[in-house]
Chains A and B, each alone.
Chain A
Amino acid sequence: MEKGKTRDGYCLGIESTADDFSVGIATFKGEILANVISAYIPPEGGIHPREASRHHAEVASKVLEEAFRKACIKPRDLAVIAFSQGPGLGPCLRTGAAVARALASYLHVPLVGVNHCVAHIEIGKLKAGAKDPVTLYVSGGNTIVAAFDAGRYRVFGETLDIALGNCLDVFAREAGLKQKPGEPFGAIVEKLAKSGKRLVPLPYAVRGMDMSFSGLLTAAIKALQKGDYKLEDLCYSLQETAFSMVVEVTERALAHTEKKEVLLTGGVAANRRLQEMVRFIAEEHNAKFCTVPSEYAIDNGAMIAWTGVLAFTHGITTPIEKSYVRLKWRLEEVEVPWMK
């Protein structure tokens, strides 16, 4: 382990930034012993923060129990509790934070507040064996191209408005599609896009290193309502246009930083077409393409547990009075002393 830390132990991580409540357990050596995820699927519409948080509170004890059972450890074996402190939806974050605080004070172990975006990068590195990648993190709530520089993960490019995953989700809802457990909107759009052939012109909005998806979404919905195009063609065009945008920015970050790895993570990382596109640019720049198994790409407790380990073993803890949730906590505000 790191210098000065010979003690081994377990860290429990709680993730609750948005629609998923998840508990993960990691060892200080980086083994993931449990990663239990409970997803909230709204009966209709998008995620209502209060309803999602109600789901989190309802399933919390069940998810915790299952995580302990899977990891074959007892609560008193824990050395530290980590939780996602932000960014995310207030009510959802608060539910997870409350569980984490309760556990930490009951067990008399330290608490670590983890940045959700840092956690996505860290679990990606751990699971894909990457050391210092350019990361493309695309999900329903975030669209970020980041790379490590001078002590922090710097944001090279990001969305100026909505997230890429959000753009796909809203389009799918407008098209009357229904998501099911195990088949989120993204997977349905991907399936339809496979039989699409005709490229419908949609606004391609890359501004410098940043991207905009709201105009693309509006244009796609308008085209849908006009009824002149097949849904398959629209899904295909929406994917091709939006993915080309994020891949273009990622390629530029790769060219600029000259890093030798590209990490694709977040819920949208499950999309095969996007994986293929990112693989192309990795090859072009002699970089290794790294992607993460789906359970570690979506929001998950294991990433919080593992990042908690990294922080804790580098002397970072969060006193309870500073454990308030941070809804707008930017990736580049966080120091990452475990990276050199």
Chain B
Amino acid sequence: MDEIKQPLLIKKGAEAHLFLAEWHNKIVILKRRLPKKYRVAALDDQIKTYRTIHESRLMHEAKKAGVPTPTIFFVDVKNSTIIMEFIKGKQLKQLCNEVSEKKRIQLFREVGRLIGKLHKYGIVHGDLTTSNMIQASDGKIFFVDFGLSEKTRELEARGVDLHLMKRALQSTHFRYAEKCFDAIIEGYSNVLGAGEVRNVLDKIREIESRGRYIAERRR
């Protein structure tokens, strides 16, 4: 860890801080999970350790699924820190407000394809939001923040994953949330096929109806 030079805090997240730093003559991102004052130490250690190991492992595995993620260089469990590749680009959260509708649909179709690849491989991201997707300068979309990911093929987990994506769109881009989600489903079906998409859409509907206080629930 001594090789880290000039760490510069670039993002104060709710869970972790991201630093831009130099490490072995490379510009890297340091993701450090912070101790949470509100949690008792035992629970805090348990959560930080679990998420640090898990995140690095699944971020690496996502590459095998064909989903671009920052390359992991070093995992320091004791300090709950991951050292990873720095992706230069723009968050989709920002980008999708700046592009034309046509471009936006294309972007989200690609997002859907990537989610499809992840799910097909057996990973659910767990926190699909437009803040956790970065378009690099070469156009590739990188998925970041695998802190809540899980390895599972369960339909339920995949449904929840997509349901969360939908919810995230509704809360941050509610003006065009529906169209974007349709584009995601289109991309998703390109990878998993129409049959699987029907299953997952049914599941999403079921999850939503199971949700609290939905008027349609009784139908």
Using CB atoms and an 8 Å cutoff, list the residues of chain A in contact with chain B.
86-87, 142, 149-150, 154-156, 158-160, 199, 201, 204, 206-210, 240-241, 243-244, 247-248, 251-252, 254-256, 276-278, 280-281, 284, 326-331
Asked if A158 and B43 make an inter-chain contact with CB atoms under 8 angstroms apart, the answer reads no
* B contact residues, total (Cβ < 8 Å): 32
Cβ of B37 within 8 Å of any chain A Cβ, yes or no, is yes
Complex interface residues of chain B between 163 and 194 (CB less than 8 A to chain A)? 164, 167-168, 171, 174
A252 contacts B214, CB within 8 Å? no
Q: Min CB distance, A291 to chain B, in Å? A: 15
Q: Are A201 and B46 in contact (CB under 8 A)?
A: yes
Whether B128 is near chain A, meaning CB under 8 Å from some CB there, is yes
| Interface CB pairs A-B, < 8 A, 10 | A149-B171, A150-B174, A155-B171, A199-B42, A204-B43, A207-B148, A252-B14, A256-B14, A281-B38, A328-B218
Q: Is the CB of A158 within 8 A of B127?
A: no
B1 contacts the other chain (CB 8 A): no
Given A154-B171, A160-B211, A328-B215, residue A247 in contact with residue B164 (CB < 8 A) = no
> What's the Cα separation between A330 and B13 when bound, in Å?
29
Chief secondary structure at chain B's binding surface? loop
B212 at interface by CB-CB < 8 Å: yes
Decide if B38 touches A277 in the complex (CB within 8 Å): yes
- A244 with B214: in contact, given A208-B148, A209-B167, A251-B14 (CB under 8 Å)? no
Please measure, in the bound complex, the distance between the C-alpha atom of A87 and the C-alpha atom of B215, giving whole angstroms: 10
Note all chain B residues with C-beta closer than 8 A to A248: 14-15, 36
- Given the complex, which residues of A lie within 8 Å of B218, measured CB to CB? 328
Chain B window 98-134, contacts with chain A (Cβ cutoff 8 Å), 1 for yes, 0 for no: 0000000000000000000000000000111100000
A208:B14 contact, CB within 8 angstroms = no
Instruction: Assess A240 versus B43: contact at CB under 8 Å? Given A159-B212, A160-B211, A284-B37.
Output: yes
Q: Is the pair B217, A328 in contact by a Cβ cutoff of 8 Å?
A: yes
Contact of A207 among B37, B160, B212, B215 (CB under 8 A): B160
Query: Among residues 35 to 63 in chain B, which have CB atoms less than 8 Å away from a CB atom of chain A?
Result: 36-40, 42-43, 46-47
Q: Write out the residue numbers on chain A whose beta carbons fall within 8 Å of the beta carbon of B210.
A: 160
Q: Could you tell me if A208 and B212 are in contact, using CB atoms closer than 8 angstroms? A: no
Looking at the complex, which one of A199, A207, A327 makes contact with B40 (CB distance below 8 Å)? Answer: A199
